[in-house]
Amino acid sequence: MPDKEAAVLSETYLPSFADYTLAEPNVLVLDRAQYSLDDGPWQEAEEMLRLDASVRRACGYQLRTANFPQPWLEPVKPVEHMIQLRYSVSSQVEKPSVELAFEFAEGAQVMWNGQAVPMEPSGFFVDASIQKVKLGALRQGENELLIRMPFGPGVDLENGYLLGDFGVRVTGDRAILEELPQKLAFGSIVHQGLPFYGGNLTYSCTVETDGSDVMLEIPEYFAALLRIELDGQSRQLYAEPYRVTFTD
């Protein structure tokens, strides 16, 4: 509640839906892939950490869950195998360009819808070791991503990330790309086309005031730091009760 000295003259809600902007491209997490070891038969799609464990067993390597020294304390071991990872990306929309972010081993090759992808880094995603490359156009229907790279005891198979101007709808273990929504509702963004998005998100809306002080309250908020701007005034919120006052 406001301070005892303050009197609440009126109360209203912000609009249910608001315009929004994303600070970075949206994300589809590529966490399941078919795989082939040393050009052997293709195996059924598997979650990446389980896939990594299966490949390590087949190669006679220690699992990542085993106890062993940090990599920089051990001698460099030769890369003896070749792993291929194949992903299917379903899309209801076409986009002129999407990017792949992946922790590539040296010598990796990428194919996107049957075309070789130039391995020219276009920055990184989240971490400097997760390099981005431009894949080209996203087509409506099924898209195939193939990653081929050397595999050895020092190579960890991790999730990949498809980045672009698309929305994501997840049902069970399947994801379909679609258009981003025109507006966002206040609340969870998971079921609004942004289930994996972790960048900054800005809501924009118009409010009418009579020139007196205004208190904004954002109840039941569960996420990161909030910054509120109103007619040039800026405030930050980081803890309950998530209330901020703007004067005059």
pLDDT tens-digit series, residues 1-28: 445 556 777 788 888 999 999 999 999 9
Gap between the Cα atoms of 39 and 84, Å rounded: 8
- Residue 64 has a pLDDT of 80
Q: ∠ CA 12-194-13 to the nearest 5 degrees?
A: 0
pLDDT at 153 over 90: no
Q: Who's near 142: CB < 8 A, 6+ residues apart?
A: 88, 89, 90, 91
- Residue 1 has a pLDDT of 41
What pLDDT digit, counting tens, does each position of 198-229 carry?
999 999 998 888 888 888 998 888 888 899 99
Hey, how many other C-beta atoms are within 10 angstroms of the C-beta on 113?
A: 16
- Residue 139 has a pLDDT of 97
pLDDT at 67 over 90: no
Average pLDDT, the chain: 90
What pLDDT digit, counting tens, does each position of 165-199 carry?
999 999 988 999 999 999 999 989 999 999 999 99
Percent of the chain clearing pLDDT 90 (strictly above) = 65
pLDDT at 72 over 80: no
Considering only residues 6 and 91, tell me which one the structure prediction assigns the higher pLDDT. 91
Gap between the Cα atoms of 228 and 230, Å rounded: 7
- Residue 33 has a pLDDT of 97
pLDDT at 71 over 80: no
- Residue 73 has a pLDDT of 58
